[in-house]
């Protein structure tokens, strides 16, 4: 029907949301930046789930990726450097009904925010963590990041980085209560969509490392992977990330992997460091781990009067 803004749907709903309802300000990332693909995928997932924009919140720290809340027409919080995860945990604790997303990068999460990264995974609150990993500090113009490959020449290491890159997958899998660990590339939209969709639907903390293009400072890293997809290992399983038959042909290397198998997940993750084989798909999932957000929300619905009475009762224990 003319004059009505709507995607095609046969279902009549009280409120129907289109992509426009989730789009915020115009994205100001560089042309060709992988962040655009992640943003578009998040818009699609919220649209397909028909979540009211006012029921979602995107939280970030500092870095190129951390501008994402500005580009969402949802609640958003652009926080301080390295502090996206504790902010997100606080929001989920006090507003458990909200759909919480975190946009963070390899510097924001794995460097200054490393301590919060460990404890957020351990808390296993119900949230989706997107790690935009371009293996460089892009916002501050080409400094070495924790995931920069050895010998990469940057402004802080002009002769080349002399430390091996941190492996976020092995670290995360080694954290107590890790419940969802996946990795994906930004230049394969169908796989990116299915991976983020599965992460969003998981009850608990979903950790998704997104290997992401930075065409300005480290174009060669992802170009090599785009030109030679044999360095990517596609993980397949009926309980993993859905992979269409046509999509599977794009990956010369693939294997069946049960995401409930932690030991094998760690072996696959270690191969990225030791053999340079980069897995894409779901490495690990455990739906039986309790969510700390469920525990922290206990008593959240009591009235202010009851809270005051409980406080006074507790203070009476110290009366002389």
31-75 pLDDT per residue, tens: 999 999 999 999 999 999 999 999 999 999 999 999 999 999 999
200-223 pLDDT per residue, tens: 999 999 999 999 999 999 988 899
Query: How far from chain centre, in Å, is Cα 109?
Result: 11
165 in Cβ contact with 147 (< 8 Å): yes
137-189 pLDDT per residue, tens: 999 999 999 999 999 999 999 999 999 999 999 999 999 999 999 999 999 99
- pLDDT for the residue 306: 86
14 is a domain residue = no
For 180, the domain range is 19-316
7 is a domain residue = no
Count the domains in the chain. Answer: 1
Residue from 231, 246, 163, 171 nearest 207 by CA: 171
2 is a domain residue = no
Q: Is the pLDDT of residue 250 over 70?
A: yes
CATH number of the domain at 292, please: 3.40.50.970
Confidence bin at 307 (pLDDT 50/70/90): confident
210 is a domain residue = yes
For residues 287 and 7, which has the higher predicted lDDT (pLDDT)? 287
Q: Is the pLDDT of residue 11 over 70?
A: no
Segment 290-298 shows an average pLDDT of 87
9 is a domain residue = no
Q: Tell me how far apart the alpha carbons of residues 172 and 169 are, in angstroms, rounded to a whole number.
A: 5
- Residue 195's CB: how many other CB atoms inside 10 A? 25
Q: Is the pLDDT of residue 299 over 80?
A: no
49 is a domain residue = yes
Q: Tell me how far apart the alpha carbons of residues 89 and 46 are, in angstroms, rounded to a whole number.
A: 21
10 is a domain residue = no
Q: Tell me how far apart the alpha carbons of residues 107 and 147 are, in angstroms, rounded to a whole number.
A: 8
5 is a domain residue = no
- pLDDT for the residue 254: 95
Q: Is 18 left (phi over 0), alpha (psi -120 to 50) or beta?
A: beta
What are the residues facing 232 on neighbouring strands? 278
CB-based contacts of 295: which residues, under 8 Å, 6+ apart?
Answer: none
- pLDDT for the residue 13: 63
């Amino acid at each position: 029907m003319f004059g009505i803004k709507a995607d095609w749907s046969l279902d009549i709903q009280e409120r129907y949301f289109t992509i426009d309802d989730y789009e915020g300000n115009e994205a100001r990332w560089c042309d060709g930046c992988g962040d655009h693909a992640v943003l578009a995928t998040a818009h699609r997932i919220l649209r397909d789930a028909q979540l009211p924009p006012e029921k979602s919140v995107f939280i970030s720290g500092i870095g190129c990726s951390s501008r994402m809340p500005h580009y969402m027409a949802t609640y958003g919080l652009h926080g301080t450097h390295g502090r996206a995860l504790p902010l997100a945990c606080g929001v989920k604790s006090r507003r458990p009904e909200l759909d919480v997303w975190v946009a963070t990068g390899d510097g924001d999460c794995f460097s200054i925010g490393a301590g919060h990264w460990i404890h957020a995974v351990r808390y296993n609150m119900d949230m989706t963590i997107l790690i935009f990993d371009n293996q460089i500090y892009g916002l501050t113009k080409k400094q070495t990041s924790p995931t920069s490959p050895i010998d990469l020449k940057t402004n802080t290491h002009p002769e080349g980085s002399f430390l091996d890159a941190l492996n976020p997958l092995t670290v995360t899998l080694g954290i107590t209560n890790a419940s969802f660990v996946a990795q994906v590339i930004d230049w394969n939209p169908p796989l990116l969509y299915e991976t983020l969709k599965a992460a969003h639907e998981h009850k608990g903390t979903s950790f998704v490392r997104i290997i992401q293009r930075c065409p300005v400072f480290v174009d060669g890293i992802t170009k090599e992977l785009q030109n030679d997809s044999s360095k990517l290992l596609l993980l397949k399983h009926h309980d993993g990330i859905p992979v269409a038959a046509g999509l599977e042909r794009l990956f010369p290397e693939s294997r069946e992997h049960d995401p409930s198998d932690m030991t094998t997940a760690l072996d696959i993750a270690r191969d990225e460091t030791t053999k340079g084989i980069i897995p894409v798909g779901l490495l690990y999932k455990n739906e039986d781990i309790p969510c700390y957000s469920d525990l922290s929300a206990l008593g959240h619905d009591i009235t202010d009067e009851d809270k005051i009475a409980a406080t006074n009762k507790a203070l009476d224990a110290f009366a002389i």
